[in-house]
Each structure stands twice: as C-alpha cells, then as structure tokens.
Amino acid sequence: MDTATHKNEIATLQCETTAVEFKAAADFADRRTELKLIRSILAMHNSGGGTIVFGLSSHGEPVEVDLTATRGVDPVVLSDKARAFTERALPGIVREEFQRGDASFPGWIIPAATSPVPFARDGDLHVGQGKPEKLFHKGQIYVRRGASSVPADAGDMEAWTEKIRSTARQVFAAEIGRFAVVPPGHTIQVLQEGSFVTGPTPTARVRVTDDPDAPAAVIVDPFRTWPHRQKELIQRLATRLPSHRVNGHDITCIRKVYAIEIEAKKFQYQPPHSSRYYSEEFADWIVGKVGEDPQFLVKTRQRYKPDAAA
C-alpha cells in the first residue's frame, strides 16, 4: 500500500487494527511508556509492518496533549532504542503526519521484518523496592493480534516459517527463471562454492591469460590444458598439415622466432625437471599460420639463427 492510500485509510479509521495503533504521545521520559512503545514497534515490525499515530485515544478520538516533543523524535533514536533491547538495528522507520478531520497528528510508519526479531533482554520496570515488573522477557517475540501487541505463539511461528519458505521459493523461482531457456550446446551445472570442475565437461577448459581483470580460475590438471609433448604435437601437425613435413627443428624455430607471442598466448608449459608440453591452441595457431602463408615453415627456419638460440 502506498503512503497516500495509507493516510486516507487512517483518516477515517474509527478504531485500532493489527496494522494501526493509536497512542497519546511518545514520552520517552516515562519508563513505562517507553517500554510499551518499544514493544509496539517490535510487534508491528514482526507482523508485516504498521503505523503508530499519536495524539489519539484507542477509539481514534483526539486527546489533549502537547505533541511537540513527539514530532521531534528522530527515527534514528527509535532505531537505537530498539537495538538496546534486540541487539539489532531497526532501519527504515519513517516519520509522517496524518490528517484526521481538520487536525494533523504525528506518526511513525514501521517497516516489516524479514525474519522474527526477539527481545535480547528483559523490559524491566522498577517500581518501589520490590522485584521489577517485566513488560516483556528476553527471548520473547511480540506480534500484533487484532489491536493488541502480544507474545507470539506456535501458530504465529508456523505462519512465519511458511512466509520464509514462500519468500525462498519466490527467490528461487526468479533466479531459476533466468536460466529457463538454455542455448543449444550449453549446459547448466550447480556446484558447491569453492568447487573445481575436473571432469570431461565443457567447463573443464579455460582460456589462460595474463589479463588481471579476467575471472580467476584454477588449473587443476595442467596436462588437460597442455596435453602434447613435442612428439605428439608433431604427430597432430602431420595429420592436419599432410602436405607439409614438420619436425622437431621446426618447433624449435617457431618457439625462438615467435617467443613473445607464444609466451603471451600461453601455448607451452614446462613442468619442473621435465620437457615442454604444448596446447591444442598452439597446433591451431601453427595450422592457421601455414594457411595464411604456405611458406611459413620455410621462412621461420630462415629467420632462426642457431647461434643466437638460448
């Protein structure tokens, strides 16, 4: 309900409801009044939100009271007072004026809680020398029932549980709806946070890059990214370039002449105390170069100077 509609409803309301409570004034100097206000705020907060309007009797009749101090109460102060008894902030309280007849009355609009908020300590009212009167107890959850603020019972908690489940189902439905249509050739995987894909799935391969802005990935098995030793790379090239004879010397020439590009594209990997391994992308790159220039291998041999090799 928007604020304007809510104000129109309160303008003609003849009695208190679950979502609307009338009070004389917000007198925080009086301990009993303060505790009852905190209790009402928490009850409305736990019952879907509501409004407290001041300067009215329980039947909605104007009462003779100075509302200057009530109008000056900062919502931040209300949040701090609620935190003192719940150990949680209560943000979102809005201060408003409500019209009834020709008069204007101050009020607070209380937001709805996303989960039940219990009291973290007792609401003790000390009267005389005896035991304090407790307006609420630690661990109690107050709710609105009709026009009253009362401790929650099993039925209230069951309703809360169903509300939380319903919200979770709505969130899940909204999220899963984003993936309702999966493009051909794509799959969806649900993984526990921190998991790594190591099986033969489309997500097992990643592009290796030095880009610091690229998403991070962990190479669990480097021999999936660089599967070919030089002998196997030459066999792959013999299959893909049947009209060109590629040997180990050609691979050495390519590595030396195009060292910077090969390093930038992460075409090779050398484990400690082992020979180099090459990626399938390196084979693709060589095939592409030969496709662009059939003399690529010959020209690369000519550019390579053995006496400059490292």
Q: How far is CA 254 from CA 67, 242, 266, in A?
A: 87, 19, 14
Q: How many CB atoms lie within 10 A of CB 38?
A: 23
pLDDT band per the 50, 70, 90 thresholds, residue 310: very low
Least confident stretch, 26-35, 132-141, 201-210, 248-257: 201-210
Please provide residue 53's backbone torsions phi and psi, each rounded to the nearest 5 degrees: -110, 135
CA distance 75 to 79: 6
Q: What is the CATH number of domain 3-156?
A: 3.30.950
User: Residues 11-20: pLDDT tens digits?
Assistant: 988 889 999 9
- For the segment 150-156, the average pLDDT, to the nearest whole number, is 92
Q: How far is CA 142 from CA 99, 135, 148, in A?
A: 29, 11, 10
User: How confident is the model at residue 196, as a pLDDT?
Assistant: 57
Full-prediction pTM beyond 0.85?
Answer: no
**Amino acid in the structure at residue 72:** G
Q: Is 100 helix (H, G, I), strand (E, B) or coil?
A: strand
- For the segment 104-130, the average pLDDT, to the nearest whole number, is 90
User: How confident is the model at residue 228, as a pLDDT?
Assistant: 93
The whole-angstrom distance between residue 149's C-alpha and the CA centroid of its chain comes to 33
CB 149 within 8 A of CB 40: yes
Question: Which is more confident, 222 or 295?
Answer: 295
Q: Is 182 helix (H, G, I), strand (E, B) or coil?
A: coil
- For the segment 57-66, the average pLDDT, to the nearest whole number, is 91
User: How confident is the model at residue 82, as a pLDDT?
Assistant: 87
Buried b (16+ CB within 10 A) or exposed e, 122-134: bbeeeeeeeeeee
pLDDT band per the 50, 70, 90 thresholds, residue 309: very low
**Amino acid in the structure at residue 233:** L
Which residue in 119, 159, 154, 145 sits closest to 19, CA to CA? 145
CB 56 within 8 A of CB 100: yes
Question: Which is more confident, 123 or 218?
Answer: 123
- For the segment 92-117, the average pLDDT, to the nearest whole number, is 91
CA distance 175 to 276: 45
Question: What share of the chain in percent tops pLDDT 90?
Answer: 49
The DSSP call for residue 82 is H
Q: Is 282 helix (H, G, I), strand (E, B) or coil?
A: helix
CA distance 287 to 309: 24
- The most confident of the ranges 210-219, 244-253, 266-275 is 244-253
Q: Is 107 helix (H, G, I), strand (E, B) or coil?
A: strand
User: How confident is the model at residue 265, as a pLDDT?
Assistant: 86
- For the segment 71-78, the average pLDDT, to the nearest whole number, is 88
Domains of the chain by residue range: 3-156, 224-308
Q: How many CA atoms lie within 13 A of 54 on its CB side?
A: 22
User: How confident is the model at residue 194, as a pLDDT?
Assistant: 60
pLDDT band per the 50, 70, 90 thresholds, residue 210: low
The answer, yes or no, to whether residue 159 has pLDDT greater than 50, is yes
